[in-house]
């Protein structure tokens, strides 16, 4: 499915209560795939998967009656929470969806990503944020977290408790353990960990970029239709305002991209609540 068909599917999943309305972007990425699995889980499928098909639509719309076994599983599952990725993992998946959708500056070098700008407006952020025009790696990262219910993102983007657009301040807040941010060891990096980078050769005294880990250091990751194989001292990430490869700017490249980063350029790993 592509384009309009995907948007229709996403709206149906949103109506079924398993996908945020703001996720209807016309791209069948990880966020929509997870929502499809959750819908099947709620309906009592024996082995929920990411296949969105006519049978699932019929069940969601009440046009088909679940089997006795499905109904029994659905009742049993109501007694325990629906399995769902952790918030940081969902934020990472959301950004992978943006990568798949080729979210990037339009026009080039404008520091304006139309889809990200519209999303900020839909989230009712202040005009300063959603109109963009500034280096936007942190805006993309915290907007992804905000979409998934992050307290830290709310403190930064909605309440202005800290400057969620300025990576040095994000680092300082995390080092204090304030506003839902806290530093963690590089050895504990996993999917959903926010990462602060220094690409400017400042020997760790400053940070100039932020993204989200898609796995542990050295972990092979399947994302965006590709398989990423980092070395044991590298990690796969998804980032806003970077380049698709090493040929462009790493901290102001103008697109959402999946990258493999050496641990040596990571200045802080941050747990986001």
Q: What is the pLDDT of residues 36-89, one digit of tens each?
A: 988 998 899 999 998 999 999 999 999 999 999 999 998 888 776 555 558 899
Within a domain: residue 268? yes
Query: What is the tens place of the pLDDT at every residue in 177-222?
Result: 999 999 999 999 999 999 999 987 544 458 999 999 999 999 999 9
> Does 226 lie in the same domain as 142?
yes
> Does 91 lie in the same domain as 62?
no
| Among 35, 58, 77, residue at a domain's last position | 77
**How many folded domains does the chain comprise?**
2
Mean pLDDT calculated for residue range 151-162: 95
Which residues form the domain of 228? Answer: 87-272
Largest interatomic CA distance in the chain? 64
Within a domain: residue 147? yes
Inform me whether the pLDDT recorded for 231 exceeds 80. yes
Within a domain: residue 82? no
Backbone angles phi, psi at 270, to 5 degrees: -130, 130
> Does 93 lie in the same domain as 66?
no
Inform me whether the pLDDT recorded for 24 exceeds 80. no
Q: Specify the 3-state DSSP secondary structure of 206.
A: coil
| Among 58, 77, 96, residue at a domain's last position | 77
DSSP H or E stretch at residue 147:
helix 137-147
Within a domain: residue 151? yes
Provide the pairing of β-strand 266-272 with 181-184.
Answer: antiparallel
> Does 95 lie in the same domain as 11?
no
> Does 213 lie in the same domain as 118?
yes
Supply the pLDDT for residue 167: 94
Supply the pLDDT for residue 78: 78
Supply the pLDDT for residue 267: 94
Q: How far apart are CA 158 and CA 257, in angstroms?
A: 26
Supply the pLDDT for residue 31: 78
> Does 121 lie in the same domain as 172?
yes
Backbone angles phi, psi at 123, to 5 degrees: -80, 0
Q: How far apart are CA 40 and CA 46, in angstroms?
A: 9
Mean pLDDT, all residues of the chain = 91
| Among 27, 46, 77, residue at a domain's last position | 77
Burial (CB count within 10 angstroms: exposed 0-12, middle 13-18, buried 19+), residue 14: middle
Q: In the structure encoding, which two tokens stand for residue 12, read together? A: 């149906």
Inform me whether the pLDDT recorded for 23 exceeds 80. no
Least confident of 26-30, 163-167, 195-199: 26-30
Within a domain: residue 143? yes
Portion of the chain with pLDDT greater than 70, in percent = 95
Query: What is the tens place of the pLDDT at every residue in 112-126?
Result: 999 999 999 999 999
Supply the pLDDT for residue 157: 96
> Does 226 lie in the same domain as 91?
yes
> Does 199 lie in the same domain as 161?
yes
Supply the pLDDT for residue 230: 97
């Amino acid at each position: 499915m592509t384009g309009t068909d995907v948007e229709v599917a996403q709206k149906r999943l949103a109506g079924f209560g398993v996908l945020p309305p703001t996720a209807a972007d016309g791209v069948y990425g990880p966020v929509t795939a997870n929502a499809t699995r959750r819908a099947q889980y709620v309906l009592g499928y024996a082995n929920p998967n990411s296949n969105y098909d006519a049978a699932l639509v019929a069940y969601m719309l009440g046009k088909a009656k679940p089997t006795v076994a499905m109904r029994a599983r659905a009742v049993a599952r109501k007694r325990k929470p629906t399995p769902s990725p952790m918030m940081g993992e969902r934020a990472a998946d959301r950004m992978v969806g943006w990568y798949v959708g080729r979210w990037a500056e339009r026009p080039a070098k404008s520091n304006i990503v139309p889809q990200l700008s519209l999303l900020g407006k839909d989230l009712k952020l202040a005009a300063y944020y959603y109109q963009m025009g500034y280096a936007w790696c942190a805006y993309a990262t915290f907007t992804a977290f905000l979409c998934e219910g992050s307290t830290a993102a709310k403190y930064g983007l909605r309440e202005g408790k800290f400057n969620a657009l300025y990576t040095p301040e994000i680092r300082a807040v995390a080092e204090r353990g304030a506003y839902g941010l806290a530093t963690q060891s590089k050895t504990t990096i996993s999917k959903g960990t926010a990462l602060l980078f220094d690409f400017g050769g400042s020997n760790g005294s400053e940070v100039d970029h932020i993204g989200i880990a898609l796995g542990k250091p050295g972990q092979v990751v399947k994302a965006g239709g590709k398989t990423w194989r980092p070395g044991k001292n590298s990690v796969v990430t998804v980032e806003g305002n970077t380049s698709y490869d090493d040929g462009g700017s790493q901290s102001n490249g103008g697109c959402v991209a999946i990258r493999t980063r050496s641990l040596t350029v990571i200045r802080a790993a941050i747990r986001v609540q």
